[in-house]
Structure 1
Amino acid sequence: MPASLDSPGVTGEWRDASTDALPGERGSGRLFVISTGPAGPRTSTLQALEALERVQVLAAPEQQVQLFGDYIAGKPVLFDPWKGLFDFKGKRVWDLGEAERERFQEERFRLRDERVGLIREVLAAGQDFGLLETGNPCLFGPGHWYKEPFDPDEVVIIPGMGCDAAAMAALGQSTIPAHDIRYLVQTSPYSLTVDGRLDRAALEDIARHACTLVLYMALRDTGHVFEALREVLPGDTPCAVVYWAGYPGRQRVLRGRLDCMSADLSEEEEDFMGLLFVGRFLEGKPYEASLNRLGRTRGRVAGAGPADE
């Protein structure tokens, strides 16, 4: 497993949990994949902010550089880690034709390898390198593009709050326990796509069990997404989109039902910074309903036979 980062000791100095080494004592640095939360310092952890102070060199998009300016001022930022990995010649990846996709795939691996080489130079010089990752770095976290070429003991992953946590707080409902819900499913249309279409069998499997469904990156083609969901779920199933989760002044919630939500979303310009929730947890008092149901179920089991007497 990648090493973890302990809290500062009584002297305030960082120590590495696996080697108990101070920065620079190991002879080589480490790559820190740092969760900065979904919306800047206010949704970051103390561990993340302290890690930002520890590392000497960074990779971060311009927005993160601005948001965390007080913590990284004066430190070199070598590159934007996401530039070129999800776009090609001014087009987003999903707008590329087949021939362009092939060239794009070659180019983004070339970019990744070039940047990994830069990180290796920093580590070889005994410095720690920080890769700023928004949200949960291990849930739809593109930072793994850069982490996986390294040995596990060269990497430290700093956990943090994901956009799902901020979005759930905005909705103010228990996602599970909730009513008769048995699963919390977090996925994306891309993960459910086979041969260019949403996999009907996979959606039927999901719909077969009462669940809360959380869909990342689902707003680009809402027409097809909701058409596919309506084929396996009732049209009156409640749903909601949380835009810019955790961002002060920008966060907002759009609520609806499967049979009309696509039309509501067609008026929206934002097609990326939003998380789609589907399920009955959005109705009533889901936690209380779940506890009441659990009590009734236990009562039936307890009265089933002599062994319970």
Structure 2
Amino acid sequence: MTHALSQPGQCTLVGAGPGDPELLTLKAVKAIQAATVLLVDDLVSDDIVALAAPTARIVHVGKRGGCKSTPQAFIEKLMIAAVQDGDNVVRLKGGDPFIFGRGGEEVEHLRAAGIEVRVINGITAGLAAVTSLGVPLTHREHAHGVVFVTGHAKPGDHGTDWRALAATAHSAKLTLVIYMGVSDAQHIQAELLQGLPGQTPVAIVQRASLPSQRQAVTTLAELSETLQREGLGSPSVIVVGDVIQGVQAARLAPSEARRHGTV
């Protein structure tokens, strides 16, 4: 006697953006509301998780540098098992799944298990950070391009060649957006100074887009000192480049400074 196979489920990687629920795309909201299982990263705000159906099973799978994290292999096994059980699985990630969100790794493992994956983009923290300061990432006069780079290399990886990147950024007029760079900021600063002037403007934005956002504007020569003095930690984005000159020149209006908690 044969038994009917259960209806297979589906999986969607959803970018939750930098934290403000109003920055979610409509497609992301619909996916969250339709999910029967949500696997949620640490950096996803409670207000966004609250959009899920009351009947949805919510599993918090924290992934944050410097903190105890759920092993990536375990998360992937959970996703595959839930889809095979017939669930509509949403893997809810801070920012964008394909920008330092390990989305590529997860897609590869799911496809290897015979599961097709849908990806819904989210606003990445690097973009939200500079937008909150009222400056762009690119500018016809100041920045001809932008580089998103991680300051956190996996074990056994030498990581970014910061000296080469600095030289390229200086000659090609590039904005550098550094994710997960606070813990190694002193080393990154020393290496970048080999190719960029010490007066290069720098912005540090912590918890971009959230009511608790804090930021500081400084120079590359004073990056580490500023981080320590202002007590800025993770999750923060460090933006290096002449596009920050607009903030240096005008700063934020007093009302904006109070609203954003400028230090």
1:231-252 CA deviation, whole Å, 9 max, x = no partner?
211111111111110002x112
Name the SS for the 1:71 alignment partner: coil
* Change beyond 3 A, Cα 1:29–1:239: same
Match for residue 11 of structure 1? Answer: none
> Is the aligned partner of 1:149 residue 2:109?
yes
TM-score by length of 2: 0.78
2:61 to 56, 81, 85: 81
Instruction: Find the structure with the greater CA-based Rg.
Output: 1
CA distance in 1, matches of 2:68, 2:57: 28
**Structure 1 residue 32: Cα displacement:** 0.9
Write the mapping of 1:34-49 to structure 2, written as runs, cut at 5 A.
34-49=14-29
> What is the alpha-carbon root mean square deviation over aligned residues?
3.0
> Is the aligned partner of 1:58 residue 2:21?
no
Write the mapping of 1:121-160 to structure 2, written as runs, cut at 5 A.
121-151=81-111, 154-160=116-122
> Is the aligned partner of 1:221 residue 2:221?
no
CA distance in 1, matches of 2:207, 2:44: 15
- Residue identity matched to 2:90: G
- Residue identity matched to 2:61: P
2:52 to 59, 62, 71: 71
- Residue identity matched to 1:71: A
Match for residue 254 of structure 1? Answer: 216
8 Å CA contact retained: 2:164, 2:195: no
* Change beyond 3 A, Cα 1:165–1:204: closer
TM-score by length of 1: 0.67
Give the number of equivalent residue pairs: 238
Name the SS for the 2:109 alignment partner: coil
CA distance in 2, matches of 1:146, 1:197: 23
> Is the aligned partner of 1:233 residue 2:233?
no
**Percentage identity across aligned positions?**
24
**Structure 1 residue 194: Cα displacement:** 6.5
Unaligned runs of 5+ in 2: 1-5, 248-263
**Structure 1 residue 168: Cα displacement:** 1.9
> Is the aligned partner of 1:30 residue 2:10?
yes
* Change beyond 3 A, Cα 1:245–1:119: same
CA distance in 2, matches of 1:134, 1:29: 23
Unaligned runs of 5+ in 1: 1-25, 94-107, 286-309
CA distance in 1, matches of 2:60, 2:221: 40
